[in-house]
Amino acid sequence: MKRETKLLVFILLVATVAIFLVIYRYEKLLLEKDRDRAELVRVIGGVKLKKEYTAQEIIQLIKSAPAYLGDSLIIYENGEMVSSNDKFNGTLQAVLTSEGNMTMVKSAMKRNKLPLQYNVYILASNFYKQQYPEEFKTEAKPDTVKNAP
Amino acid sequence: MLFIIFSWIYITFNSFLLGCLLAFLVRKLFRIPSVERLHFSIVCINGLLFTSFLLSIWVLFYKVDLLANLFVLLLSLCSFFFLKGEVIALVGNLIASIKGASKSLWFFFLLFMAVMAAISYLPSSHADDSGAFSPLIKWIQEYGAVPGIANLDARLGYNSSWFTLQALYGFAFLKTGFFNDLNGLLFLYLLLYSMEAIDLLLKGHTSFLNYLRSFFFLPLVYLYFGFSHDVLLYSIQFFTSPTYDVPVTFIMWVVFFMFLGLREKEGVFHSSILPYLMTVYIAWLVTVKLNAAPLLIIGLFLWGNLLLRRQYRNAILLSALGIGILIPWMAKTVLSCGYLIFPFAELDVLNVDWKLPIQSVLYIENSVITWAIDPEVYGTAQFTSSTRHFSVPINEWFPIWYSHINFINSIIFFTTIGVTVYFLGWLVWKSVKNKMRFALNDSIKVVLMLTLLAGILLWFTKGPLFRYGYGYLLFYCIWALTALVFYLLNEFRSEYIGIAILVYFTYAGIYYYSNLWGAAKKAIVVVPKKEQVPAYHKIDTGHGRLINVVEGDACDNAPLPCSPGFVYEYLMPVYRGTTIQEGFRSRRSIVPQSDK
């Protein structure tokens, strides 16, 4: 192949591959969104799904979770959640603004059928404990020695 | 961050000197007359390999702590005095390379050093770290090899020689926190290796290997920070944790480059250290992670070539060396879990009282596959069984697996298929044309292709999680793409390719990683943080012999001996004797024991 032909082939190949990749990625993202949106067939006698939670219910759910940090929470009518712990508010924001983290939250929501704010809190709480482990130091008390069964 | 950079300088100092010693010993053993100039990164990786091998013997008798560090340091200093001339010559070559290299490359190298130091400083977020890697390293640091630790948690049966190295350079005796930064250092070694080729491109040295060495590392320059990414391949968690996925992948690539480099050398089996060094690397990589086993095809090819050239003495020595590297690693695996290789239930040939119940081995083996395919569909006891191997046919699980792969992995998947079709066509055409006789150049290409395909097949059938297979998949795809680009562009000035790569680095270092600088500024002179201690309680197994049972599913930094609650209830570990060093056994084991 001549030198100029090779360059032309290279440019055309790169352009074709780039266009193909953009279209393929776009298609894949659209298909994923379609799959998320797909309605499951209604089943008579199935367990009732709670579609709406009040702010108090969500806060109660969070407070009864093992990952609860002991802070006070306010949930506004637009769904925004604010903690009395300033540092934790930063962690909550980091979860909400990260696509990867929100993917994890949405997949947890699908699994546990619990509201968005609850799942955001749980994930953020795990990150917070990793970021500030000194706030959660736990030690075995000397007298908690059990006998083997 | 600065502490991490200081630790890297110390590790590189040791590794460089011990790497020179390894090269010297290999030359003497195999009677190679000439002193070959090896790349600085390869010398340092030689040193890591040699240190790891020595520690694999050390750990059988004693813990890897301050004394082990002093031993390694003393050995490095002795290497310097013994090989002074050679070391000084190598350092001289290195300084000349630095002076001659493009200044922009040095700017980017220092920039990425700061980036990797900042990333290595971050706390580990790898799912397997708190459950397996960190506890294993802690055992090596505090007790060495202890019989039956897998009875405390089956995951402790995993035995990688990378962990002994992590234990050594974790500097636990400083009591400051775990220096979890060997993977970041390996990243920099390979970046340096790639940058030499980029420098050659910028200077107009056009060769296929220069192109390949410049391109292969480009996908790793961008690391993602979240849980998953549609385009980027590696998460920072591979560099914040001591995972063995990184060294096995990176060093496997070094072996492939050394192998391809043989095509450009004359009389390679008489005058080059590379064939022998490669075999040592291959044997060692199997001790890092078992998925490196297909590289034995390259090892066998090299060994076969020695026999063809009637170098019987070297062939025998090479086999003995390879087996010699495997023996201490296998001995530690036997001590940990009672099996020769873990998790490999078929090799149940030993009858020791600390042997892990076979159900646990099968469970671990199955969970690797089911987790890689789809844990939601195959994570139940029916598939992740403790009584039989995972046996769902490929045509049944493939659609489920395929539906979950992301954009970039689907590109890699289809590229792999396309390249394989092309390669098979080329192989048939060459076989017919040359009537099944391949010159050495073509043989090397064929053997490398077969090794990569064998690795891909092993990955696909034993645990098709893409990050397990990047060592083979990525090299396979980039090799093919480089061949295409080289064919089309090799008649043009290679400086343009080099400049394009520099632009790529600029975007990564200046824009993509800009978020790190804010966090890094606060951590410049801060030591790494200690790992978390989870909530646990002590259980007395009799006569004051305590086991710390963690309430969660991972021991993390809990004091030893430690067992996660759900594992303790199943395996019911007890002491074999009166001390931790005597080890543990499971009351669920079927091997009859006498009570002590």
Q: DSSP states of B50-107 as a string?
A: HHHHHHHHHTTTS--SHHHHHHHHHHHHHHHHHTHHHHHHHHHHHHHHHHHS-HHHHH
Interface contact A7, partner B, CB < 8 A: yes
Q: How far apart are CA B556 and CA B550, in angstroms?
A: 9
Strand partners, B548: B538, B562
Q: How far apart are CA A85 and CA A101, in angstroms?
A: 20
Q: Which residues of A touch B487 (CB under 8 A)?
A: 6
- Pick from B177, B152, B182, B151: which is nearest to B166 by CA? B182
Report helix, strand or coil for B276.
helix
Residue B326: both structure tokens together: 């495997």
CB contact under 8 Å between A10 and B485, yes or no, is yes
CB contact under 8 Å between A28 and B538, yes or no, is no
Q: Are B489 and B248 contacting, i.e. CB atoms less than 8 angstroms apart?
A: no
Q: How far apart are CA B83 and CA B75, in angstroms?
A: 12
Q: How far apart are CA B409 and CA A115, in angstroms?
A: 31
Interface contact A108, partner B, CB < 8 A: no
* Residue A57 to chain B, least CA–CA distance (Å): 27
Q: Which of B228, B488, B540 sits opposite A10 (nearest CB)?
A: B488
CB contact under 8 Å between B491 and A140, yes or no, is no
Q: Are B101 and B200 contacting, i.e. CB atoms less than 8 angstroms apart?
A: no
Q: Which residues of B touch A103 (CB under 8 A)?
A: 226-228
**Probe site for chain A from B538, B548, B569, B595 (most A CB atoms < 10 A):** B538
pLDDT tens string for chain B (596 positions)? 788 899 999 999 999 999 999 999 999 999 988 778 899 999 999 999 999 999 999 999 999 999 999 999 999 999 999 999 989 988 998 898 888 888 899 999 999 999 898 888 877 767 778 788 989 999 999 999 999 999 999 999 999 999 999 999 998 888 876 777 899 999 999 999 999 999 999 998 889 999 999 999 999 999 988 777 888 899 888 898 899 999 999 999 999 999 998 887 766 666 789 999 999 999 999 999 999 999 999 999 999 999 988 889 999 999 999 999 999 999 999 999 999 998 888 878 888 899 998 888 888 888 888 888 887 777 666 677 777 788 888 888 888 898 888 899 999 999 999 999 998 898 888 888 876 666 656 888 889 999 999 999 999 998 898 988 999 999 999 999 999 999 998 888 888 899 999 999 998 888 888 877 766 666 666 666 666 678 888 988 888 889 999 887 888 888 889 999 888 888 889 999 999 999 999 987 644 444 43
Residue B108: both structure tokens together: 């980017």
**Probe site for chain B from A25, A101, A128, A137 (most B CB atoms < 10 A):** A25
Which residue of A lies nearest to B535 if distances are taken between CA atoms?
A138
pLDDT of residue A105: 87
Q: Which of A10, A104, A129 sits opposite B489 (nearest CB)?
A: A10
CB contact under 8 Å between B491 and A100, yes or no, is no
Q: How far apart are CA B146 and CA B61, in angstroms?
A: 9
Interface contact B413, partner A, CB < 8 A: no
Report helix, strand or coil for B593.
coil
Residue B342 CA from chain centroid, whole number: 16
Cα-based distances in Å from B65 to A82, B58, B146, B168, B456: 46, 11, 15, 6, 38
**Probe site for chain A from B407, B527, B529 (most A CB atoms < 10 A):** B407
Q: Are B276 and B258 contacting, i.e. CB atoms less than 8 angstroms apart?
A: no
Q: Which residues of B touch A137 (CB under 8 A)?
A: 533
Residues 6+ apart with CB under 8 A from B586: B148, B151, B356, B357, B571, B572, B573, B574
Residues 6+ apart with CB under 8 A from A55: A75, A76
Q: Which residues of B touch A138 (CB under 8 A)?
A: 533-536
Q: Which of B225, B228, B538 sits opposite A140 (nearest CB)?
A: B538
Q: How far apart are CA B23 and CA B276, in angstroms?
A: 10
Positions in chain A whose pLDDT score sits under 50? 139-143
Which residue of A lies nearest to B124 if distances are taken between CA atoms?
A130
Q: At what angle do helices B208-215 and B182-202 cross, to 10 degrees?
A: 140
CB contact under 8 Å between B407 and A137, yes or no, is no
Question: How many other C-beta atoms can be found within 10 angstroms of the C-beta atom of residue B404?
Answer: 11
* One-letter amino acid for residue B52 of the chain: S
Q: Which residues of B touch A28 (CB under 8 A)?
A: 407, 410
Strands B536-540 and A145-147: parallel
CB contact under 8 Å between B227 and A101, yes or no, is yes
The Cβ-side half-sphere exposure at B44, using a 13 Å CA radius, reads 20
* Residue A55 to chain B, least CA–CA distance (Å): 28
CB contact under 8 Å between A130 and B125, yes or no, is yes
CB contact under 8 Å between A3 and B492, yes or no, is yes
Interface contact A2, partner B, CB < 8 A: no
Question: How many other C-beta atoms can be found within 10 angstroms of the C-beta atom of residue B478?
Answer: 19
Q: Are B358 and B341 contacting, i.e. CB atoms less than 8 angstroms apart?
A: no
Residue B47: both structure tokens together: 């040193």
CB contact under 8 Å between B226 and A146, yes or no, is no
Note the maximum CA span of chain A. 84
Strands B536-540 and A73-75: unpaired
Interface contact A138, partner B, CB < 8 A: yes
The burial class, CB within 10 Å (0-12 / 13-18 / 19+), for B355 is buried
The burial class, CB within 10 Å (0-12 / 13-18 / 19+), for B415 is middle
Interface contact B526, partner A, CB < 8 A: no
Q: How far apart are CA B23 and CA B36, in angstroms?
A: 9
CB contact under 8 Å between B226 and A99, yes or no, is yes
pLDDT of residue B592: 45
B136-158 core/surface letters (b: 16 or more CB in 10 A; e: else): bbbbbbbbbbbbbbbbbbbbbbb
In terms of DSSP H, where are the helices of chain A? 3-37, 55-63, 86-96, 99-112, 116-131
